[in-house]
Structure 1
Amino acid sequence: MAAGLVAVTGATGFLGRHLVRELATAGYRVRILARRDVIHPLWRDLEVEVVLGDLGDERALDRLCRDAGLVVHAAGLTKARTAAAFAAVNVEGARRVAERTSGRMLLVSSLTAREPSISDYGASKRGGEDAARAVLGERLGVVRPPALYGPDDPETLPLFKLAASSPILPLLDPRARIAMMHVADAARQIAALAKAPGGFNVALCDQRPEGYSWREVFQTAAEIFGASPAYLRIPGFALRAVAAAGLLAPRSGAAPMISFGKVREISHLDWSVRPEEQMSDLPAPLFDLARGFLHSVQGYEASGVIFGKPAAIREKMLQTYSADGVKYATFADDRSRGTHL
């Protein structure tokens, strides 16, 4: 096997784009699986080998994994209408990649895999872990990121748009705690795990493994725009009604963002990261929630998103954070590498 060669699936996804850069920066030769030949702005100064294909293309998987000392499997389906659709990608895809892994495999799972009975998605992520472990045994390492956010994430953009424009923000159960993490920090820690021997199952988090309340999340987002909204408790039945409406949508369209499984996930009270799930020697996160949210909004604005709130508020916040002596990657640092896209 060629030393230093890492094969990556899911490389063009939200986390994968950052992960490829971190692996290449760490000195690995990176080969990715992609449906088309793509050069992402994050990779402008990198040499990335591309294998055209997807998880259902056995020949492409053979070419991807050939001679790779490590395979990082980050591909996965996050939205689907049925359990079978989730399993076809998240379980069978993990199994097919594992079967072609001659060295070690690092599987990027999800914190939801800890509670597989809550949703079809969580069940499929646990199923993918189990399928890969059955093939690889101790040659498998599993990493479970929490809820991720960052400047190029379409999934959390609605949160910031709502925080910027609405005088009233929703609240879920005040007892709930959700661990969160900036995507760049998650990518740095996963790249560090590429050097670890297999056999581990670790969860990631920022400086708050106990997680955040929903009020903290929305309030932190609102403060980025200088807003002081009121808060309204949203009962569970309202979320279930939204999920039911999604089931009535045309079946030919995209899978709904809010499904019954997603409602059960966001209504779950404990998405904190427990001490026994953590690994102590990973790189320290650079972003807390406030810095991470500020960085995200700056990134959205640089790529053309208009929030209708003056940028001077965020510039002042950035000056405040710079003055406290904490060193972290600013959006200005990233912009020179094109990471705002």
Structure 2
Amino acid sequence: MKALVTGATGFIGSHLVEELVGQGYYVTCLVRGDSDLKWIENYPVKKILGDCLKHEILHKLTDEFDYVFHLAGLTKAANTNDFYSTNATGTENLIKNVIKYNKNVKRFVYISSLAVGGPSMDGVPLCPCSPPNPVSEYGRSKLQGEEAVIRQSDEIPVTIIRPPAVYGPRDRDFYMLFKMVKRGYLPYWGKSFYSFIYVEDLARGIANSVKTEKTIGKTYYLTDTETYSNEFLTDTIASELKCKYIKLRIPKSAIPFIANIIQKLTKTSIINSDKMTELKHTHWTCNCEDAVNDFSFKPEVTLREGIKWTANWYRLHKWL
């Protein structure tokens, strides 16, 4: 089995590479010239220099691949247009070139986001049948990526995966939360509820989603099946780090102002005006029942276990 992975050097992508290699795949990674290869350099993978925004490089996608896992994308950007060029145009370029050079591909898997579904307005976890309702530019750009994939679904078999918040070793977004809790303070603007998934469970789910034809043409949420409050999350982190923290209460009306200041200072921080647009909503939850039924998805890591392992990794690598 031969697989092409885009976004392989990133947080989720590198874990997927590890999972695919462990399952016996011959893995090729499409990487940009400026990519940091440290998370995949110890795995027996082939690397192709390329960029989903450059048609002239994508001709290297020949019929040698059985599966294409498309994870390359932007989760934060200094310029809104960058979301759409990478998450939408880049996805459309890739799938069209796969069709052109590899029409016999067994599956094209697009890794999207809960941001496409949007927040739950009634507190009930979203299912794939819920109408998309993105509230951020990131979510709208990922929706356009999904639409590009769906437009080609008559040409090749496709599957779409929408993860919620993903955490685990190598992640830098949750790392900021760990750092704030360890320093003893945390911005707080009210109670919220979230679905989470540990990165290794997500990688295993992505890999297993192609093992049955039941998943062709379908969209799935993958979660650890539980719903957690933001307070439970931060209390769990504090317990693992053996520290205490105080909540810095911030009125929701001040969130955009604070986010704009941080964005100007950091350019591409996860704390930016687009992400804050999402965080103003209180329920970011989803249901993975379809995945359980169609390809026996079974998350193995609880939030407490995952937070412990993530904290240990941060300590080992001297991030904390």
TM-score w.r.t. structure 1 length?
Answer: 0.80
Q: What do the CA deviations read for 1:90-110 (whole angstroms, capped 9, x no partner)?
A: 001110111122222100001
| Paired residue secondary structure (1:237) | helix
The residue aligned with 2:122 is none
> Over aligned residues, Cα RMSD in angstroms?
2.2
Check whether the contact 2:225–2:288 (CA below 8 A) recurs between aligned residues. no
Q: Give the Å deviation of 1:276.
A: 5.7
Q: Given residue 171 of structure 1, which amino acid in structure 2 is its aligned partner?
A: Y
Aligned to 1:181: 197
Q: Select 1:132's aligned residue among 130, 145, 149.
A: 149
How far does residue 48 in structure 1 lie from its aligned partner after superposition? 0.6
The answer for unaligned runs of 5 or more in structure 2 is 119-132
Mapped to 1, the partners of 2:75 and 2:62 lie a distance apart of 24
Alignment CA distance shift 1:264-1:254 (3 Å): closer
Distance 2:269 2:244 in 1: 30
Deviation at 1:170, TM superposition (A): 3.5
Residue number in structure 1 paired with 2:113: 110
1:144 — aligned with what? 162
Return the letter of the residue paired with 2:91: A
For 1:267-286, what per-residue CA distance to the aligned partner results, in whole angstroms no more than 9, with x for missing partners? Answer: 22221113565433444222
1:26-65, Cα deviation, whole Å (9 max, x unpaired): 1111111012487545552x32111112112324322135
In structure 2, relative to structure 1, the CA distance for the partners of 1:213 and 1:65 (3 Å cut) is farther
Deviates more, 1:52-61 or 1:150-159: 52-61
Partner of residue 226, structure 1: 242
Q: Tell me, in whole angstroms, the C-alpha distance in 2 between the residues paired with 1:277 and 1:241.
A: 39
- The answer to whether 1:279 aligns with 2:295 is no
Residues 223 and 288 of structure 2 are in contact (CA less than 8 Å); yes or no, is this contact kept in structure 1? no
Alignment coverage as a number of residue pairs: 295
* Partner residue in 2 for 1:297: 311
Structure 2: which amino acid aligns with 1:159?
L
Q: Which moved more, 1:282-291 or 1:178-187?
A: 282-291
Give the letter aligned to residue 112 of structure 1: A
SS at 1:205's partner residue?
Answer: coil
1:14-25 matched pairs, under 5 angstroms: 14-25=11-22
The match for 2:61 among 59, 64, 78 is 64
Q: Summarize the Cα distance change of 1:65–1:272 in structure 2 as closer, same or farther, 3 Å threshold.
A: farther
1:99 aligns with 2:99: no
User: In structure 2, what residue type is equivalent to 1:165?
Assistant: R
Q: CA deviation at 1:122?
A: 0.2
1:7-86 mapped onto 2 (5 Å cutoff): 7-36=4-33, 40-41=38-39, 44=42, 46-86=43-83
One-letter amino acid of the counterpart of residue 179, structure 1: S
- 2 CA distance for matches of 1:40 and 1:282? 32
> Contact between 1:108 and 1:143, CA under 8 Å: does it hold in 2?
yes
| Contact 2:116-2:142 within 8 A present in 1 as well | yes
**What is the CA distance between 1:69 and its match in structure 2?**
1.9
> Could you tell me whether the CA contact under 8 Å between 2:221 and 2:288 is conserved in 1?
no
Aligned residue for 2:72, secondary structure, equals coil
Instruction: State the Cα deviation string for residues 285-333 of structure 1 (Å, max 9, x = none).
Output: 2221111111111101111224xxxxxxxxxxxxxxxxxxxxxxxxxxx
List aligned pairs for 1:248-267, cutoff 5 A: 249=264, 254-267=267-280
* Residue 158 of structure 1, aligned match among 170, 176, 189: 176
Residue 281 of structure 2 corresponds to 268
Alpha-carbon distance in structure 2 between the residues aligned to 1:38 and 1:215? 34
